[in-house]
Amino acid sequence: MADSVLRAAVNVDIDGLYLYDRIHGHTGSAGNAAGFDAAAHDPRAWTRGVPRFLDLFARAGVAGTFFVVAQDLDHADVRAVLRDAVAAGHEIGSHSLTHPYDLSRLSAEAQRTELFAARERLRDATGQAVSGFRAPGYVLSPMLLQTVADVGHAWDSSRFPCPAYQAAKAAAIGLYRATGKPSGSIPEAPGVWLGPRTPYRERLPDGRDIVELPIGVLPGVRWPVIGTSVIVAGELGRLAMQPVLDRTDWVNFELHAIDLLDHAGDELPARLLAQPDQRVPLRSKWKVLLRMLERLAATHSVRTLGQWAQTV
Ligand SMILES: [Zn+2]
């Protein structure tokens, strides 16, 4: 029912494989942005993950949003996949220039450089203005959100009001620190954990505001509605969640490109098994995500984040 009052959006953060090494404290594989050769990175999140998402979205009949780390466009194969996504009618959002996990703690000038350069590069590559932004690791600060608006974005989709996720992330970061392999991630301020669950306008330091489209959680329990949680729960878990999901007024279903990589079939490095959903075979992941999207398209009005932002 395309005119459903229940709103939904589907989106994919295209985090290159090199970024997972930063989260999990590995070194030696593009440990930080300085000196990183984006043209030489392993492009399989793009060349295998994204085309599968294009197939999945076509099967489910939905248009989505892909959040792109702009430096990845140094890679010719990446540029080709980006063109395919745009040609298929999907929206492109900015996921910063180099995906620094500590972006919210960088200087105002460094933040502006990251966001401005990313938006320019994405506009040049797609021929379209890039209206939306998602912060690396979903972590914002008032100054960063101000910069998001200042470089010309109309909306942000980084708030993740999910106590279970945020607490687990804070615990994992502490664990990595304790074992002497500091994670590149930083925790989000606890005030965000119970922030608004549905789209709203967030006040900026300069007094203006910006549309915020929070990442999906179920009402009440605030269980995360993201690729990782659905894949790890599996088809039975999805069916258990489905009656609540069917009535949830805002579903911002957030996925990652590696959600449709196949650990065995794509011969991925063993260190990626630190991601819980990497142990699930591609066939199972594909099935649960397709059923979830088909159901979402039947119960909700599925539009891109940019389309929803215009209604807030
Ligand atoms: Zn990311």
- Which residue ranges make up each domain of the chain? 7-309
Is 11:67 a contact under the CB 8 Å cutoff? yes
- Encode pLDDT of 34-89 as tens digits: 566 777 788 999 999 999 999 999 999 999 999 999 999 999 999 999 999 999 99
Compute the distance from residue 242 Cα to the ligand 1 centre, in Å. 27
Is 263:273 a contact under the CB 8 Å cutoff? yes
Q: Which residue has the higher pLDDT, 182 or 270?
A: 270
Separation of alpha carbons 4 and 264, rounded Å: 40
Compute the distance from residue 16 Cα to the ligand 1 centre, in Å. 8
Mean pLDDT of all residues in 110-131: 96
Is 90:10 a contact under the CB 8 Å cutoff? no
Compute the distance from residue 19 Cα to the ligand 1 centre, in Å. 8
Burial of 152 from C-beta contacts in 10 A (0-12 / 13-18 / 19+): middle
Q: What pTM was computed for the model? A: 0.91
Compute the distance from residue 207 Cα to the ligand 1 centre, in Å. 28
Compute the distance from residue 29 Cα to the ligand 1 centre, in Å. 17
Compute the distance from residue 59 Cα to the ligand 1 centre, in Å. 25
Compute the distance from residue 137 Cα to the ligand 1 centre, in Å. 6
Alpha carbon 277 to chain centroid, angstroms: 15
7-309 belongs to CATH 3.20.20.370: yes
- Encode pLDDT of 186-195 as tens digits: 767 777 777 8
The residues whose Cβ lies within 5 A of ligand 1, an ion, are 13, 15
Compute the distance from residue 254 Cα to the ligand 1 centre, in Å. 11
Separation of alpha carbons 69 and 249, rounded Å: 30
Q: Residue 29 pLDDT more than 70? A: no
Separation of alpha carbons 17 and 28, rounded Å: 13
Separation of alpha carbons 91 and 226, rounded Å: 19
Angle, helix 142-150 to helix 108-126, in steps of 10 degrees: 40
Compute the distance from residue 13 Cα to the ligand 1 centre, in Å. 6
Place 163 in a pLDDT band, splitting at 50, 70 and 90.
Answer: confident
